[in-house]
Amino acid sequence: MKKIICAIALLTVTVSLSAQDKIVRRARVNIEEIQNLMADKERKPKDTEKMLAMMKETMDMITPTLTSPETKKELANAWDIKAKLHMFTFSPLLDNVINKEPTDTAKLAEHIYAALDAKEQAYLAEKDAKEPKFKIANQLDVIKFRPYVAYCGQMFYQNGQHKQALDAFRRWIEYPKTYTILEDNAAAMAVDEQTAQIGYFTCLAAYFAKDYKALAEFMPIAKTYEKEKDQVNQLLLTAYIEQGDTLSWLKAGRGLVVDDPSGNEAIAQNILAYYFNKNDSKGALAFTEELLGADPNSKIGNYAKGLVFMNDKKYADAITYFQKAIDADPEFSDAYYNAGVCYSNIGYDMNDALTGKKMTVAQQKVEIDKVKDEYAKAEPFFLKVKELEPTNTHKWASRLATVYYILGDKAKQKEMEALLGE
């Protein structure tokens, strides 16, 4: 009697398994009919309604089979059917993108992602099969769909939906790792210039989404995008500032300047400003030594060291380094300007030291001539600034007006004052 009961139990299980597989097979018949309806260019409204109803019905049929332990032989088939249903849904939405018409980006992305995930599951379900039924066609689709993921990222980004854009771009970058169906087709997923470009957009989306962890994660890829190298670097530094991470900002900024002094002059000046605002001459000097250690002839390195000495009122030393910066770049306007300011300051300090000092008229004349000599040395530097920046009148005219006042050249003094509107 026990043997008979056991046999009945086994028969019940066998019937249950067969029922799950039959559901999948019936769903496949529906898929073929839906495909025929979609291909009919003269499809009538009632046929469209029928098609949409069949898509819903088929999804309802197939969904329980995907997680049922009783689905065995037809599991890959079930996942492939699910993938096709999502493809049927996103296809008209994708057509809108191609035709530059409005589309539901969120819905498009949802169904592209779902189709891709279903194709991956279909592959895994028949991975050990000697003759997989769906692998080749699905592999081609997965390769073809990768640009669609990028489209979604671009549209989300343009819509200001930065978190969604970040998700899409992340999916694109991690594509070969996520979809193991591509494992024997690595050439199709090779890292190239587009990877660097997408990495750049990923970091932009991460920055605007305030996802600084993701920004740091994808920064190494973004840095390989030469076209926007400067903006990528600035993005990283700005993110550190927004997080209040000054130490990381300094470390990253100093590294960038040392690696490429000429390409990161603005960053170097911002770092110097940071040290000056902190009254940290020691830190500023160490930074300039680091720059000059990498390249003794560095334009920005010599200019930076000149600024450090100038800030410490060591004007003669500062002039030496400003001149070296000028030698490296004969059109470096700021170096000319600061060299002129240093000569003027030397003259001003010499004149200030004469106050209250007892001297004969002859001695006083000698000392005043020394003051004038320093201002005279400043003149050609300010004139060079005038030559390089003729429209930036206030930068050089006020300085030259002071020089000509000290030198007693009233005509030129009035000329400069007229330019200043005085």
Contact between 271 and 254 under an 8 Å Cβ cutoff? The reply is: yes
Q: Is residue 321 part of a domain?
A: yes
Q: Let me know whether 337 and 321 are in one domain.
A: no
Q: What is the pLDDT of residue 41?
A: 82
- Looking at 325, 357, 382, the residue that finishes a domain is 325
The domain spanning residue 262 has which CATH number? 1.25.40.10
Q: Is residue 207 part of a domain?
A: no
| Residue 261 lies in domain | 256-325
Q: What is the pLDDT of residue 187?
A: 56
* Percent of the chain surpassing pLDDT 90: 72
pLDDT tens track for 40-59: 888 888 988 999 999 999 99
Q: Let me know whether 299 and 336 are in one domain.
A: no
Q: Is residue 353 part of a domain?
A: yes
Q: Is residue 119 part of a domain?
A: yes
pLDDT tens track for 283-334: 999 999 998 988 899 898 999 999 999 999 999 999 999 999 999 999 999 9
Closest CA to 196 of 154, 224, 229: 224
**Out of 72-81, 182-191, 355-364, 397-406, which region has the weakest mean confidence (pLDDT)?**
182-191
Q: Let me know whether 354 and 313 are in one domain.
A: no
- pLDDT band with cut points at 50, 70 and 90 for residue 189: low
Residue 6 has pLDDT above 50, yes or no: no
pLDDT tens track for 211-229: 999 999 999 999 999 899 8
Q: Is residue 208 part of a domain?
A: no
Q: What is the pLDDT of residue 97?
A: 87
Q: What is the mean pLDDT of residues 189-202?
A: 82
- pLDDT band with cut points at 50, 70 and 90 for residue 422: low
Q: What is the pLDDT of residue 16?
A: 44
Q: How far apart are CA 129 and CA 145, in angstroms?
A: 25
Q: Let me know whether 273 and 362 are in one domain.
A: no
Q: Let me know whether 113 and 159 are in one domain.
A: yes
Considering the entire predicted model, what is its pTM? Answer: 0.73
Q: What is the mean pLDDT of residues 24-43?
A: 90
Task: Give how far the C-alpha of residue 66 lies from the chain's centroid of Cα atoms, to the nearest Å.
Answer: 40
Contact between 92 and 99 under an 8 Å Cβ cutoff? The reply is: no
Q: Let me know whether 321 and 341 are in one domain.
A: no
Q: Let me know whether 5 and 40 are in one domain.
A: yes
Q: Is residue 338 part of a domain?
A: yes
- pLDDT band with cut points at 50, 70 and 90 for residue 120: very high
Q: Let me know whether 363 and 320 are in one domain.
A: no
Residue for token digits 């720059």? 291
Q: How far apart are CA 182 and CA 41, in angstroms?
A: 34
- pLDDT band with cut points at 50, 70 and 90 for residue 400: very high
Q: Across all residues in the chain, what is the average pLDDT?
A: 90
Q: Let me know whether 336 and 299 are in one domain.
A: no
- SS3 for the chain, per residue? CHHHHHHHHHHHHHHHHHHHHHHHHHHHHHHHHHHHHHHCCCCCHHHHHHHHHHHHHHHHHHHHHHHCCCCCCCHHHHHHHHHHHHHHHHHHHHHHHHCCCCCCHHHHHHHHHHHHHHHHHHHHHCCCCCCCCCHHHHHHHHHHHHHHHHHHHHHHHHCCCHHHHHHHHHHHHCHHHHCHHHCCCHHHHCCCHHHHHHHHHHHHHHHHCCCHHHHHHHHHHHCCCHHHHHHHHHHHHHHHHHHCCHHHHHHHHHHHHHHCCHHHHHHHHHHHHHHHHCCCHHHHHHHHHHHHHHCCCCHHHHHHHHHHHHHCCCHHHHHHHHHHHHHHCCCCHHHHHHHHHHHHHHHHHHHHHCCCCCCCHHHHHHHHHHHHHHHHHHHHHHHHHHHHCCCCHHHHHHHHHHHHHHHCCHHHHHHHHHHCCC
- pLDDT band with cut points at 50, 70 and 90 for residue 11: very low
* Total residues found in the chain within this entry: 422
Contact between 189 and 175 under an 8 Å Cβ cutoff? The reply is: yes
Side chain identity at residue 120, one-letter code? E
Q: What is the pLDDT of residue 3?
A: 44
Q: What is the pLDDT of residue 264?
A: 84
Q: Let me know whether 40 and 80 are in one domain.
A: yes
Contacts (Cβ under 8 Å, ≥6 apart) of 186:
176
- Looking at 264, 291, 325, the residue that finishes a domain is 325
Q: Let me know whether 52 and 177 are in one domain.
A: yes
Q: What is the pLDDT of residue 266?
A: 86
Q: Is residue 202 part of a domain?
A: no
**Out of 85-89, 107-111, 268-272, 303-307, which region has the weakest mean confidence (pLDDT)?**
268-272
Q: What is the pLDDT of residue 190?
A: 58
Q: What is the pLDDT of residue 244?
A: 92
- Looking at 306, 325, 344, the residue that finishes a domain is 325
Q: How far apart are CA 43 and CA 276, in angstroms?
A: 74
Report how many domains make up the chain: 3
Q: What is the mean pLDDT of residues 63-88?
A: 94
As given in the structure block, the two tokens for residue 297 are 């002839």
Residue for token digits 């035709």? 99
Q: Is residue 366 part of a domain?
A: yes
Residue 186 has pLDDT above 70, yes or no: no
Q: What is the pLDDT of residue 414?
A: 95
Residue 185 has pLDDT above 80, yes or no: no
Residue 9 has pLDDT above 60, yes or no: no
Residue 367 has pLDDT above 80, yes or no: yes
Closest CA to 302 of 311, 314, 283, 289: 289
Q: What is the mean pLDDT of residues 141-154?
A: 95
Residue 8 has pLDDT above 60, yes or no: no
Q: Let me know whether 53 and 180 are in one domain.
A: yes
Q: What is the pLDDT of residue 396?
A: 96
Residue 197 has pLDDT above 80, yes or no: yes
Taking the alpha carbons at both ends of the chain, their separation in whole angstroms is 119
